Amino acid sequence: MKKANNGKFNNANPRGTDTIAAYKKTVPSDVLGCFERSKAAHANLMENAPFFIGAVLAGNMVGLSAGMLNTLYAIWKHLRAY
């Protein structure tokens, strides 16, 4: 994003509406789209991480084997990809 915006990135207020509007004017649409998807993916991870961590801890507490936890993780990961 910084490279596409001539080396400029607003660290003081990166989520501000003025900053996003400035990016829409100066950054190519494909780079801006990638930037927005990255922000959405990060937010999604932060929203789902506590549930995932809780599920792993619960699985450990009830004594699931590492193989079973790995299998359940693979299923979860596969479902999240689509």
Please check the confidence at residue 57 and state whether its pLDDT lies above 90: yes
The CA angle 77-78-82, to the nearest 5 degrees, is 110
Please check the confidence at residue 26 and state whether its pLDDT lies above 70: yes
Predicted confidence at residue 39, as pLDDT, reads 86
Are the C-beta atoms of residues 41 and 49 closer than 8 Å to each other?
no
- Mean pLDDT across 25-51: 87
Q: Which amino acid is at 16?
A: G
pTM equals 0.57
Please check the confidence at residue 7 and state whether its pLDDT lies above 70: no
Please check the confidence at residue 15 and state whether its pLDDT lies above 70: no
- SS3 sequence, the chain? CCCCCCCCCCCCCCCCHHHHHHHHHHCCHHHHHHHHHHHHHHHHHHHHHHHHHHHHHHHHHCCCCHHHHHHHHHHHHHHHCC
Predicted confidence at residue 8, as pLDDT, reads 66
| Residue of higher predicted confidence among 3 and 25 | 25
- Mean pLDDT across 10-37: 78
Delimit the domains of the chain by residue range: 17-80
